[in-house]
A = this chain, B = another copy of it.
Amino acid sequence: MDSHALRKLFEQVRRKRLSPDQAVERLRHLPFEDLGFAKIDHHRALRQGMPEVIFAQGKTPLQVADIFTRLAAHGGNVLATRATEEQFAAVAAAMDLAEYRPEYRPIARAIVLKRDRKLQGKGVIVIVSAGTSDIPVAEEAVVTAELMGNNVQHIYDVGVAGIHRLLAHRGALAKAHVIVVCAGMEGALPSVVGGLVGVPVIAVPTSVGYGAAFEGLAALLGMMNSCASNVSVVNIDNGFGAGYVASLINRR
């Protein structure tokens, strides 16, 4: 928990092997991470149960396997998002003899190594998707939130054009501590959900749609302009980010 390098420096001053001036000088040339400032330790405390994360898209299976095993050596949970089955095969092979085995969540396109199963969140995180095509993004949020120690519940395919489908789940929404809403096309669902509840809503625009959906831009703009005051937004298709922010809120 302390900074070895720093303490050693002070020891040397104490033993008068270094004058204060020399110590100041030397301090200036120490690599920053050796200073062991509180932030890092504090962070570690905060970060209990937080997964190490790999954005697998665009990496080779071997690269993913390599980073994954390296992160797994830290002892916590590990998550690789946007991962293919080929990447998972490489990770599984690399961790064949490990005590904990990674698993693949195909819809979320995630490789998950879950060792720390302690519940960190105080309430339930509800993940909502507007259509069935938004489910992969929603599942990425689900996997992320679960790996960060939360009770997660999902409500899928409750888009605004059939509002009764959403209203049927008002009970579940009312019990949520924080809600993630994934929607493509016009991205209207977060506003409706936001109006039904009094808790923070994390909106995720998805690239679902065609034509004037412009790869999620229409949904993104819609969500930025939400008339519900409790909505904030993450990047297009960023289920991971939404699950991460929701988990942090759920720990408050």
**A residues engaging B (CB < 8 A)?**
2-3, 6-7, 9-11, 13-14, 16, 19-21, 23-24, 27-29, 31-33, 35-40, 42-43, 46-47, 50, 53, 57-58, 122-123, 130-131, 133, 159-165, 167-168, 170-171, 174, 177-178, 184-188, 191-192, 194-200, 202, 205, 207, 209-238, 240-242, 244-245, 248-250, 252
List of B residues within 8 angstroms of A222 by Cβ: 186-188, 218-219, 221-222
Q: In the complex, are the beta carbons of B186 and A225 less than 8 A apart?
A: yes
Q: In the complex, are the beta carbons of B191 and A191 less than 8 A apart?
A: no
Q: In the complex, are the beta carbons of B211 and A236 less than 8 A apart?
A: yes
List of B residues within 8 angstroms of A171 by Cβ: 28-29, 31, 38
Closest residue of B by beta carbon distance from A251:
B252
Distance from A220 Cβ to chain B, minimum over Cβ atoms (Å):
6
Assuming A225-B209, A232-B232, is B163 touching A163 (CB within 8 A)?
Answer: yes
Instruction: Give the residue of B174, B212, B221 whose beta carbon is less than 8 angstroms from that of A42.
Output: B174
List of B residues within 8 angstroms of A230 by Cβ: 244-245, 248
**Complex Cα gap A196–B57 (Å):** 26
List of B residues within 8 angstroms of A199 by Cβ: 46, 248, 252
For the complex of A and B, the 10 pairs showing the least CB-CB separation, nearest first, are A211-B236, A188-B188, A10-B20, A46-B198, A161-B195, A32-B168, A218-B221, A232-B232, A252-B252, A186-B222
Distance from A249 Cβ to chain B, minimum over Cβ atoms (Å):
5
Instruction: Give the residue of B161, B174, B195 whose beta carbon is less than 8 angstroms from that of A162.
Output: B195
Assuming A24-B6, A174-B39, A198-B248, is B237 touching A211 (CB within 8 A)?
Answer: yes
List of B residues within 8 angstroms of A50 by Cβ: 198
Q: In the complex, are the beta carbons of B200 and A212 less than 8 A apart?
A: no
Q: In the complex, are the beta carbons of B236 and A233 less than 8 A apart?
A: no
Give 12 A-B pairs besides A7-B21, A186-B227, A188-B188 with Cβ atoms closer than 8 angstroms.
A32-B170, A39-B174, A160-B195, A162-B195, A186-B187, A188-B222, A200-B248, A210-B237, A211-B224, A219-B225, A229-B241, A232-B242
